[in-house]
Amino acid sequence: MVKLKSNDDKEFEVEEAAVIQSEMIKNMIEDGCATSVIPLPNIDSKTLIKVIEYLNKHINMGKAAETGEEDDLKEFDEQFVNMGWEELFDVIMAANYLNIHELMELCCQSAADRLKNKSVRAVREMLKITNDLTEEEEQEIINDAPWAFEGPEIDDTVN
C-alpha cells in the first residue's frame, strides 16, 4: 500500500499496483524516493478521490482486455467524465502532474467533445470567458481565417 496526501492534508491509501499507473509515482518508487506518505501539493482531496477511483478501476487494464471486461471499463470511463468543467480541469491538471497518460487522454477528449461544433458564443458561455475584443478586432480575426467561421451548422446551445 502507498499513502498519498492531498494539499488539504488528507491521506489516502492506494494499492501499489493501482498507483504505479502514475509514471511520476512509479519513478519515485523505483528510485526509492517514495517516503511513507507521498505529499501531492498540487492536488486537493476532492480531485484526488476522483483520480484514485480511476486508478482502482483501471488497475488491470491488460487483464480486462482478456476477460472481456472492456465494455465495463468503457462504461466506467463514460460515467467518470460526466462531471462539471471545473472538476474536469482539476482532474486534467492532476493527471498531468501525476503523469497518468490514459487519464489525461480520457479527460482532454471529453473536454474536446464538449466543445465540438459549438458556436463561439456557446463556448464563451460554457467556459465563462469574457469577450474583451472590440467588434473591429473580432472581425479582423475572422477575416484572417474566414473558412473557419463559415460553413455547416454550428451548435449554439450550452450543453
Residue numbers of the site for another protein (CB under 8 A)?
A: 42, 85-86, 89, 92-93, 96-97, 104, 108-109, 111-112, 115-118, 120, 123-124, 127-133, 137-138, 141-142, 144-152
> In the complex with another protein, which residue's Cβ is closer, 31 or 147?
147
> In the complex with another protein, which residue's Cβ is closer, 52 or 122?
122
> What minimum distance in Å lies between the beta carbon of 17 and another protein?
25
> In the complex with another protein, which residue's Cβ is closer, 17 or 123?
123
Answer whether 88's CB lies under 8 Å from 46's CB: no
CA distance 145 to 122: 20
> In the complex with another protein, which residue's Cβ is closer, 79 or 117?
117
CA distance 129 to 43: 24
Numbers of helices and strands, H then E, in the chain: 10, 3
CA distance 4 to 14: 8
> What minimum distance in Å lies between the beta carbon of 83 and another protein?
13
> What minimum distance in Å lies between the beta carbon of 141 and another protein?
5
Residue 96: DSSP 8-state: H
> What minimum distance in Å lies between the beta carbon of 15 and another protein?
25
E strand map for the chain: 2-5, 11-14, 37-39
